[in-house]
């Protein structure tokens, strides 16, 4: 259990650090002279590198908090909530394989103490099953893959919001416009990060269900 917690902390640390570093580099690419700034950092050696890493971590942490807040408040960014609130029902977008869905419904019925599959599971029931399975994996030290996926999701989400914030600051604060090409590229990258967030949030639900099912079989 302790090793699992250590891994989770490590994933979280690198998610925050890499998000911050990437955001700084992207910002310099758009607004500053990246080569000169990196040269200054390397010339000052140890102290500046430490300062750069600390700044990256702080910026990454701020991005994580902002993105975490927004993906709970703005509907189009509620990737994880949407992924976990309907996955047990027919025609959901998370578990598309019908045979697999039936297996998960059986597991859900057992967890929810239902004698038969209802016509439709409520949002609360889906979320209860999701968190129950997730907790069981954590208690049995089987959450490593789940946390790796979450780290990938976290980086994608933070960088998506970082790009949006960088563009907004450039327009609103500095009153500078981007070239059509650069703006188009950034919009495409933001869209790709958006799709990655959606994909990995759904993938995480499937992994949790599959691993919980496997845990049930082997236990």
Least Cα distance to 81 among 135, 124, 139 occurs for: 124
* Burial state string for 155-193 with b = 16 or more CB within 10 A and e = fewer than 16: bbbbbbbbbbbbbeebeeeeeeebeeeeeeebeeebeeb
Least Cα distance to 24 among 159, 168, 193 occurs for: 159
What's the confidence (pLDDT) of residue 29?
62
pLDDT digits (tens, 9 = 90+) for 138-193: 898 888 888 889 888 988 888 898 888 888 877 776 666 777 888 888 899 999 99
The answer to whether residue 76 scores a pLDDT higher than 80 is yes
Q: DSSP string of 20-71? A: HHHHHHHHHHHHS-HHHHHHHHHHHTHHHHHHHHHHHHHHHHHHHHHHHHHH
What's the confidence (pLDDT) of residue 31?
61
Write out the two tokens for 51.
């300062």
- pLDDT-derived band at 34 (thresholds 50, 70, 90) equals very low
The secondary structure of the chain in percent helix, strand, coil, rounded to multiples of 5, reads: 80, 0, 20
What's the confidence (pLDDT) of residue 6?
47
What's the confidence (pLDDT) of residue 198?
94
Percent of the chain with pLDDT over 90: 37
What's the confidence (pLDDT) of residue 105?
94
Q: pTM above the 0.85 mark?
A: no
């Amino acid at each position: 259990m302790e090793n699992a917690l250590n891994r989770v902390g490590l994933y979280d640390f690198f998610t925050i650090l890499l998000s911050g570093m990437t955001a700084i580099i992207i910002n310099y690419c758009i607004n500053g002279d990246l080569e000169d700034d990196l040269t200054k950092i390397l010339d000052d050696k140890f102290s500046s590198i430490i300062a750069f890493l600390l700044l990256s971590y702080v910026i990454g942490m701020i991005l994580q908090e902002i993105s975490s807040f927004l993906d709970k408040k703005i509907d189009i960014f509620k990737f994880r909530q949407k992924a976990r609130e309907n996955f047990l029902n027919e025609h959901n977008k998370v578990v598309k394989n019908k045979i697999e869905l039936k297996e998960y419904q059986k597991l859900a019925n057992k967890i929810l103490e239902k004698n038969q599959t209802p016509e439709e599971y409520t949002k609360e029931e889906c979320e209860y099953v999701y968190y129950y399975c997730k907790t069981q994996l954590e208690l049995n030290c089987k959450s490593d893959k789940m946390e790796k996926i979450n780290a990938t999701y976290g980086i994608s989400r933070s960088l998506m919001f970082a790009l949006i914030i960088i563009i907004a600051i450039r327009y609103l604060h500095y009153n500078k416009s981007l070239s059509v090409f650069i703006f188009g590229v950034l919009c495409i990258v933001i869209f790709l990060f958006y799709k990655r967030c959606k994909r990995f949030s759904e993938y995480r639900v499937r992994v949790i269900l599959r691993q919980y099912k496997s845990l049930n079989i082997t236990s």
